[in-house]
């Protein structure tokens, strides 16, 4: 079932999500709906608060695809290749982070806007799977960036809070003026795949 994706400045995107307590079938249903919603919106990650569910839960599938829709596993880092996607994470917490990297991020809740954001280059994350089993993973590459972006949503933080004041104000005032239907250039349209 397709869910509605909330967009900034919806106040529900600013709340702190609560721990997932129910695993198994109810969580699988949410996972399935979120995944369908994310693929439909051509996103590569989605956090439960973005669909109005204030729970600490994420779905991610950021495997690179070629123009024929085939996965390009070669483009992933060695650590990324070891992790099965789509990835479902309940109650994630970063237990270790290393290095710094930057990436031009977009967000399904701030559609059509993109800005360079700094994140840790490598992370080790503890989380629970759909059955409530404790899991641990370590990754770098795009997957590390997406995990950090999605985990921000659980704290009510958006990527526009992690950029310079001037860049953030520019995006916010454009949204105020045009909403999400401002005229976009060809260059911006080409960036579409990085909606996290
Ligand atoms: Zn996002």
pLDDT per residue of the chain (196 residues) written in tens, 0 to 9: 999 999 999 999 999 999 999 999 999 999 999 999 999 999 999 999 999 999 999 999 999 998 898 999 999 999 999 999 999 999 999 999 999 999 999 999 999 999 999 999 999 999 999 999 999 999 999 999 999 999 999 999 999 999 999 999 999 999 999 999 877 665 555 556 578 7
Query: Measured in angstroms, how far is the CA atom of residue 196 from the centroid of ligand 1?
Result: 5
In a domain, 97, yes or no: yes
Q: How far, in Å, is the centroid of ligand 1 from the Cα of 140?
A: 18
Task: Note whether residue 196 is domain-resident.
Answer: no
Q: List CB contacts of 110: < 8 A, sequence separation 6 or more.
A: 7, 8, 158, 159, 160, 171, 175
Give the Å distance between the CA of 72 and the centre of ligand 1. Answer: 23
- Whether residue 48 is contained in a domain is answered as yes
**Range(s) of the domain holding residue 180:** 11-191
Active site residues: 150
pTM of the predicted model as reported, rounded to 2 decimal places: 0.94
CA 194 to chain centre: 9
User: What separation in angstroms does the CA of 190 have from each of 67, 114, 180, 185, 193?
Assistant: 13, 11, 17, 9, 8
Assigned domain for 3 exists: no
Separation CA 145–CA 143 (nearest Å) = 5
Give the distance (Å) from ligand 1 centre to CA of residue 120: 17
Q: What is the CATH number of the domain that holds 150?
A: 3.90.45.10
Give domain status of residue 122, yes or no.
Answer: yes
How many folded domains does the chain comprise? 1
Q: Bridge partners of 13?
A: none
User: What is the rounded distance in angstroms from the CA atom of residue 172 to the CA atom of residue 177?
Assistant: 9
With respect to residue 121, please indicate whether it lies within any of the assigned structural domains.
yes
């Amino acid at each position: 079932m397709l869910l509605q994706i909330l967009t900034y400045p919806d106040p529900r995107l600013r709340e702190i999500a609560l721990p997932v307590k129910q695993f198994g079938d109810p969580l699988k249903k949410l996972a399935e709906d979120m995944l369908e919603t994310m693929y439909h919106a051509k996103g590569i990650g989605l956090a439960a608060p973005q669909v109005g569910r204030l729970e600490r839960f994420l779905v991610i599938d950021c495997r690179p695809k070629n123009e024929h829709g085939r996965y390009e596993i070669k483009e992933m880092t060695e650590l990324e290749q070891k992790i099965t996607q789509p990835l479902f994470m309940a109650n994630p917490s970063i237990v270790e982070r290393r290095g710094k990297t930057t990436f031009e991020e977009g967000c399904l809740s701030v559609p059509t806007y993109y800005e360079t954001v700094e994140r840790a280059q490598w992370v080790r994350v503890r989380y629970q799977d759909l059955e409530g089993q404790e899991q641990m993973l370590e990754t770098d590459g795009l997957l590390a960036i997406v995990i950090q972006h999605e985990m921000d949503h659980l704290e009510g933080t958006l990527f526009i809070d992690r950029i310079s004041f001037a860049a953030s104000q520019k995006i916010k005032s454009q949204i105020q003026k045009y909403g999400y239907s401002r005229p976009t250039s060809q260059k911006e349209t080409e960036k579409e795949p990085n909606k996290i």
